[in-house]
Structure 1
Amino acid sequence: MKLSTRTYPLGPIQTNCYIVSNSSKQCLIFDPGEEGERLIRDIKANQLKPLAIFLTHTHFDHIGAVNEVRDAFNIPVYVHEKEVAWLADPMKNGSGKYAELPNYIVDEPQYEHIIRGEQVFTIEDFTFKAVFTPGHSPGSISYIFEEGGFAIVGDTLFEGSIGRTDLIGGSMPVLLQSIHDKLLTLPEDTIIYPGHGDYTTPAAEMEANPFLNGF
């Protein structure tokens, strides 16, 4: 089934939220980080039917609108087991560092499902794989849509760059290993949808990303 991916750069940091929909107008929402009203309005305007929210990780700019969107459509939220506690911890999710920005004081986002192991999800007509790509944070997940030819990778890999590793639980060696083992091994023309900025491909990053020269 043909899938369509909408990209929404949200909030002051322009964090990418992705809405993946099928021909039946069902959709999955990844990282609703801010501007919940805008997301809800656009989803309704396009007559989409949300099924679930999936988080790549729980930094504040990726979870700020979780409750608003979740409650608007009465849908479940999926999060990695290593970052469940981060949802309610302003120092770990980073929202405590931005007290001057009221919109970024994150209320504890609610969740229904904990992702404990790498697995294949089948939700209605959507089939995709959740693979662990820690390094930027300990519970970072990339979602691989093999049939669709794309992956939603959060802040693991960017066009010409990689995720920062100076935050709590970050590790440069772990991040580079995640990228090498889980993302650069995908077909070279796979569309990589990152947490910020434009999409890229494994081929482009192996060719020009200065952080990956060793690979």
Structure 2
Amino acid sequence: MEWQSLSLGPVQANCYILWNEQLECIIVDPGAEGEKIEAFIKEKGLIPLAILLTHAHFDHIGALDYIRDIYDVPAYVHKKEAAWLNDASLNGSQLFPVGQVAVRPAEKIIEQEGDLTIKHFTFQVLETPGHSPGSISFVLKAENIVISGDALFAGSIGRTDLPGGSHKELLASIHNKLLTLREDTIVLPGHGRPTTIIDEMDGNPFLNGF
């Protein structure tokens, strides 16, 4: 499997595109600038299968309808944030000078943790709330990768001052879910550069003293 990150929109949120030997791809968090996502998919000759959302904040969902209109693929979101997609007061866009963001409901609702299989892709879904109530992380065990959304960053953690955020809950999610993964697991965060679990265990100042 291969992957590529695209930093998109006014806050440079990471959209990830994962693809296999059959050129089938999964799109994670199409936050803005749908034309850039479309151009990359076209350049590589990829066949989109689905869109996964780590959470439903505006900077991770802004190009969702654009991509669905082109490729007619389903979007997956956690049940706790299903109503956020078309509610600017919940998805945060009402709180920032970016214009109100509202997109159509997701076709697929993730009810709980467990394996999620989409054709040749299998993800382990981890509930990692704290940044937002329905934040989830996607683990690709065979690839030793976790897509952490805005839970864990290189040297930092997600903000918890938006609707439904909880600093205590976020720290518990990181320690009980993410830091229990293999130490050499590659972390693909919602913003910024990739990191590893061991690097964050050893050097992330926000995780000391939990």
Place the TM-score, normalised by the shorter chain, in its bin: over 0.9
- 8 Å CA contact 1:15–1:195 kept in 2: the answer is yes
**RMSD of the alignment, in Å?**
1.0
Aligned counterpart for 1:101 among listed residues 74, 82, 98 = 98
Which SS does the other structure have where 2:27 is aligned? strand
Q: Which runs of 4+ in 1 moved over 4 A?
A: none
**Which residue in the other structure is 2:119 paired with?**
124
Specify the code of the residue in structure 2 equivalent to 1:59: H
What per-residue deviation string (whole Å, max 9, x for no partner) do you get for residues 70-97 of structure 1? 1110100001100011111111101112
1:34 aligns with: 32
Identity value in percent:
54
Structure-2 residue corresponding to 1:149: 144
Q: Any stretches of 5+ residues in structure 2 without a counterpart?
A: none
SS in structure 1 of the partner of residue 5 of structure 2: strand
Deviation at 1:160, TM superposition (A): 0.5
Structure 1 unaligned residues grouped into runs of 5+: none
For 2:142, what is the secondary structure of its paired residue? Answer: coil
Superposed CA offset, 1:41-62 (max 9, x none) = 2101210000000000000000
- TM value normalised by structure 2: 0.97
Alignment coverage as a number of residue pairs: 210
Secondary structure class of the residue paired with 2:192: coil
Structure-2 separation of matches of 1:108 and 1:125: 28
| Aligned partner (choices 205, 208, 211) of residue 203 of structure 2 | 208
Q: TM-score, normalised by structure 1?
A: 0.95
State the distance in 1 between where 2:104 and 2:46 align: 23
Quick one: which of 162, 165, 189 aligns to 1:170? Answer: 165
Separation in structure 1 between the aligned mates of residue 199 and residue 150 of structure 2, nearest angstrom: 17
- Is structure 2 residue 84 aligned with structure 1 residue 86? yes
